[in-house]
Structure 1
Amino acid sequence: MADVASDAVRPFAHLQSEHADRYRLVLAAFTRAKDRFVVHLRPEDVHADLGHLLDLDGVTNGLAQLTTWGNLRADPDTGRVTTPEDFNRARYLYQLTSEGEAAEQAIAVYEEAVGRRGVLQSVALTDIASQLHALLHLLKEANDAGTSADAAKAHLLLLSIVERFASLADNAQAFMASLRRTIDFADSDVDAFVAYKERLITYIERFIADLANQGAEIARLAHEVEAAGVRDVLDAAARREAADAVPDADSDTDAYALTFTVALDRWRARWDGLRSWFVSADARRPSQAKLLRSAAIASITQLLATVSAINDRRSGRSDRSADFRRLAVWFAEATDDDAHRLWRAAFAMSSARHLSVTPATTAVWDEQRVPSSTPWREAPALRISPQLRRTGSYERRGTPNRVADRSEQRRFLAERAARESAQTAAARAELATDGPVLLSQLAELDPLAFRLFLQLLGDALAARGRDGAEVRVTSSDGTMRVRLTPVPHAPEVAIRTADGVLQGPEHLIDIAQTGPAGDN
């Protein structure tokens, strides 16, 4: 049996057929065989692979139909021919065609993309920062030696960075999409959603903190790698990929030059994408990392709002007959005066809030107290303005109240915000050190700088592991970077401030400013 004509190849036709499940089982057997480096299969081999899922006749019919559609190729099976009768009997070996194999790969990619939930990869952030550190070290060594960076090492580092970055971006997008679906379909299983909410919020909060710290570090490293000559490394990576270019038999174009140009454009686009993901172009174009943080924070708000709505609906469910029985018990236990007050509260018989009373009426009520036991028909009438009866609204005569001028208050708030911003900037400048210094060598800090120092020190100590090794952290706004190193066998030190004395073990601390808030 020969291959089907190219214009008749329809490798996706089996998905819309009546026996699509049968054809998917047969093609899955060929995919598993290819993974074992087995190319040709006989109908008996496919039947043995599927076990009891299909009988031999069903397998044979499926193979024939898939060959017609172009998913499989059938070649005469002459390996077991021993007699002329065997030669004349139709026996075939089947294998996937290039079109059938491409269709299987496309279906696998589609099923993976549809079924993937996505994750927030904090580990990927750490890996990207580590690989950028290694690339920066490689570039600095080459610059100090006056030579070019090792192309092979740089290429491997770039491949690792791109692989982790692509995984981070794709998984983050898939996770946020699945999170929106989880929120939208929360009503389908309320109890499961409420139980899952706490773990999900904790998971998102941890990623937000990691993204703030590691994102600022990656943004700083991206700037330094660019300054060290990343364009030369991208050029070297493109040349390594173009070295294996295959000549085109149908064209006289230089395969190396064409492949190099395409590869260089691709590597530059990858680097620009990585940079724009973590570094904001300006205030109007924030980085993708900053947008992801905002979306993650907004998702927490949506989760809490959804849970609140669910609780409101649950608390709103009541048994009306039980409410009336409870109300009847209250009436039975109440005194006469309390019964009147309960009646007004239970059946909304209180005065309407939108009705206003004149001072004269209020004075009459004060002079003539009406006991709660007075029947309604014997109680004094409530006089209502004829205009209210006629139009349904009543407004006092006269000019409306003047709009208050708040310019002085706004000026005061603006001056206060500017003063606090200047004080914070001065505190950052005061805390910045020129390299590592001992805690005991810090000068006396003013209260604002001391509070900022406590916040940075607390972040560093919280991020340090049990081994007590050196730790590096970035402030939550990305403006300062702290490196804290313990000093073995050192005595305790005391830092004097206007608010008191801070005592603790000796450490080496290095505080540096990374730029204004919002750069990453």
Structure 2
Amino acid sequence: MRLRGGEFVPSIGPEHLRPLSEFKYLNAENVSRYRLIMRIFYENHMRLRYWLRPLDVHGAVLETGLIPGYTVEQCEQDLQVLHEWGNLECQQDKAKSTSIEEFKKKRFRYQMTAVAVEIERLLNALEQVQGYGGELDATPLETIARILRDIRERAQEMSRAESFAVWKELMDRFRRLHENAVDYYAQISSAKAEALMQTEAFLAFKEDLRRYLQQFALGLQQFGAQIEGTLRALSSDVVEAFLSSVTWGEMEIPNLEDRREFDERMVAHREEWRSLEGWFIGLDGDDSEVVKLERATKEAIGRVVRQALALQEQARAGVSRRRDLSYLARWFMSLDSIAEAHRLGAAVFGLYVPRHFQGEPPRSTDSADCSMWDEAPVFRALSPKTRGPRQRLAVSPVRDRAVQKAKATEAWHQAQANARDVERRWLREGTFSMAEFDELTVEDRGLLLQWVSRALSRADRRFRSPEGYQIRVEIPEHGERHCIVFSDGEMEMPNFKFYIWREHR
């Protein structure tokens, strides 16, 4: 990925569109023979035995017993085909030649290419896949916050080798955090997870899953804000010097396969740093991935709780009370008087759910000692719940509320304009403390408390306003407090000191 106009665009060239012959052996006619040979080479490669002769390969194939009747000639032909496809490198084996005739026969030995090794690693990993996997661990966030603090404080002091080591750890933690989180959310959103949530077995670990998601959300809130503040505090000069040191440290490691020049490596590292910033800060006013991840976590917690409640309600609704009710009915029938029936009903059912009807029914007496059972019944006509035709209701016209909507919109815009005016007025103050003011408006109180809340949630006690100002709040060292009068009462608070300046980058 690379940046263009503030947006990420794919870095795709003609080299990404060519066919890959190295994958042919996975779907060729003799796929079983080719895959077995490549797995034999891969297992020997992992044991640091890189070069194999045809006789070694042939003997290993026969030992597996998977391809009976396999000949040496077939083995040599298969090795040659794999060499033509780019999976194997061949070299003439001169060590076993004892005569000129044997030397002219050109016996070869074979080694896996780098692409073939990666293909077999991929196939080996795919064999272990049972789902999306992934995990929600806030530890990488803590490590990223610590590394960024080290870069801000010690970037000029780091050697090239140390800068490159720090960079590798930072990118490794960042990739692991992103990939694990994406895989885990794909796992709990998969069809298999949805089916599990419909069963009663889900109730057994519902609480563990909710607590797990909640702990990750707390880690995002704690360390995400720290990382965002550190990234904003890093100047472009410090970042550029650090990336330059990283690039030189990378080039000091001999690498026969990566022959890129300094400028190419530097561009790649800048794009990786830009991706890191975009993930934690956001680009062009868009929400950062941390905010999106926190939102997805809260939605997952809500979905888990709702599903568990639905399962519990379903379980309760499915319980048959027929036997209990039949026993109660026979009990009621066996009683001798209505008084005993009343006592049994009160013990079994308690108070009935009240139903309220509008209006005051006529009473036969106003005596407070008269029981409801002694009064005449009151009849109310209720509408039947049937599927047949119902009585048509009176149709009322749709009222035009355009005037009310226009007034409400105008009032909202006026409130927003007043809030912006209040904020701009305070931004022009520069440096001030709460002790300088004895009386303020309610709007001033809301804005200042919002600034205090945002600043105290960050480690450096500072944040950036939408207007481009940096605002830092200083807590009084000796706990001084100040009382301010508002139109709706008085409020005592610490004597906070505010530092406001324009950000230039």
User: What TM-score does the superposition give when structure 1 sets the normalisation length?
Assistant: 0.57
Structure 2: how far apart are the matches of 1:219 and 1:178? 28
Aligned residue in 1 for 2:390 = 392
**Kindly tell me: are residues 17 and 514 of structure 1, through their superposed partners in 2, closer, same or farther at Cα, counting changes over 3 Å?**
farther
Instruction: Tell me if 1:11 matches 2:13.
Output: no
After superposition, give the CA deviation of every residue in 1:33-69 in whole Å (9 maximum; x if it has no partner): 322211245899889999x994497596799396476
Once the 2 structures are TM-superposed, how far is the Cα of residue 453 of structure 1 from its aligned partner?
A: 12
The answer (yes or no) to whether the contact 1:215–1:289 under 8 Å persists in 2 is yes
Once the 2 structures are TM-superposed, how far is the Cα of residue 122 of structure 1 from its aligned partner?
A: 1.3
Aligned residue in 2 for 1:105 = 121
The answer (yes or no) to whether the contact 1:277–1:288 under 8 Å persists in 2 is yes
Structure 2: how far apart are the matches of 1:189 and 1:242? 56
Structure 1: how far apart are the matches of 2:293 and 2:220? 9
**1:195-344 map, 5 Å:** 195-238=204-247, 241=250, 259-281=261-283, 283=285, 285-319=286-320, 321-322=322-323, 325-326=326-327, 328-329=329-330, 332=333
Aligned residue in 1 for 2:153 = 137
The answer (yes or no) to whether the contact 2:51–2:111 under 8 Å persists in 1 is yes
Once the 2 structures are TM-superposed, how far is the Cα of residue 211 of structure 1 from its aligned partner?
A: 1.3
Structure 1: how far apart are the matches of 2:139 and 2:204? 26
Aligned residue in 1 for 2:350 = none
Once the 2 structures are TM-superposed, how far is the Cα of residue 16 of structure 1 from its aligned partner?
A: 9.1
After superposition, give the CA deviation of every residue in 1:450-483 in whole Å (9 maximum; x if it has no partner): 99999999989xxxxxxxxxx98999x9x99999
The answer (yes or no) to whether the contact 1:76–1:92 under 8 Å persists in 2 is yes
After superposition, give the CA deviation of every residue in 1:396-454 in whole Å (9 maximum; x if it has no partner): 59x679899978996999699989989x999x99xx999xxxxxx9x99x998999999
**Kindly tell me: are residues 29 and 196 of structure 1, through their superposed partners in 2, closer, same or farther at Cα, counting changes over 3 Å?**
farther
The answer (yes or no) to whether the contact 1:66–1:72 under 8 Å persists in 2 is no
Aligned residue in 2 for 1:185 = 195
Structure 1 window deviating more from structure 2 (317-326 vs 451-460): it is 451-460
Structure 2: how far apart are the matches of 1:189 and 1:456? 43
The answer (yes or no) to whether the contact 1:131–1:161 under 8 Å persists in 2 is yes
> Which of 175, 188, 191 is equivalent to 1:166?
175
**Kindly tell me: are residues 247 and 281 of structure 1, through their superposed partners in 2, closer, same or farther at Cα, counting changes over 3 Å?**
closer
Structure 1: how far apart are the matches of 2:148 and 2:309? 43
Gaps of 5+ in 2: 1-19, 346-354, 366-371, 485-489
Letter in 1 for 2:195: F
After superposition, give the CA deviation of every residue in 1:478-499 in whole Å (9 maximum; x if it has no partner): x9999999x9xxxx98979799
The answer (yes or no) to whether the contact 2:22–2:116 under 8 Å persists in 1 is no
Greater per-residue helix proportion: 1
Letter in 2 for 1:392: R
Structure 2: how far apart are the matches of 1:514 and 1:12? 63
The answer (yes or no) to whether the contact 1:213–1:474 under 8 Å persists in 2 is no
SS of the residue 1:277 aligns to: helix
Aligned residue in 1 for 2:352 = none
The answer (yes or no) to whether the contact 2:152–2:238 under 8 Å persists in 1 is no
SS of the residue 2:275 aligns to: helix
Once the 2 structures are TM-superposed, how far is the Cα of residue 291 of structure 1 from its aligned partner?
A: 0.6
Gaps of 5+ in 1: 1-5, 143-148, 249-254, 343-351, 373-378, 435-440, 461-470, 503-508, 516-520
Once the 2 structures are TM-superposed, how far is the Cα of residue 277 of structure 1 from its aligned partner?
A: 0.6
Once the 2 structures are TM-superposed, how far is the Cα of residue 113 of structure 1 from its aligned partner?
A: 6.8
The answer (yes or no) to whether the contact 2:163–2:242 under 8 Å persists in 1 is yes
Overall identity of the aligned pairs, in %? 18
Letter in 2 for 1:123: T
After superposition, give the CA deviation of every residue in 1:309-342 in whole Å (9 maximum; x if it has no partner): 2212212213375366356446636878989xx9
Aligned residue in 1 for 2:3 = none
Letter in 1 for 2:295: S
**Kindly tell me: are residues 238 and 309 of structure 1, through their superposed partners in 2, closer, same or farther at Cα, counting changes over 3 Å?**
same
The alignment covers a number of residue pairs equal to 432
Structure 1 window deviating more from structure 2 (403-412 vs 285-294): it is 403-412
> Which of 27, 40, 43 is equivalent to 1:32?
43
Letter in 1 for 2:124: A
Structure 1: how far apart are the matches of 2:387 and 2:293? 57
The answer (yes or no) to whether the contact 1:129–1:218 under 8 Å persists in 2 is yes
**1:84-95 map, 5 Å:** none
SS of the residue 1:11 aligns to: helix
User: What TM-score does the superposition give when structure 2 sets the normalisation length?
Assistant: 0.58
Aligned residue in 1 for 2:139 = 123
Letter in 2 for 1:209: L
Structure 2: how far apart are the matches of 1:112 and 1:510? 58
After superposition, give the CA deviation of every residue in 1:164-212 in whole Å (9 maximum; x if it has no partner): 2111111111111112136413247632x22222122222212212212
**Kindly tell me: are residues 79 and 302 of structure 1, through their superposed partners in 2, closer, same or farther at Cα, counting changes over 3 Å?**
same
**Kindly tell me: are residues 72 and 277 of structure 1, through their superposed partners in 2, closer, same or farther at Cα, counting changes over 3 Å?**
closer
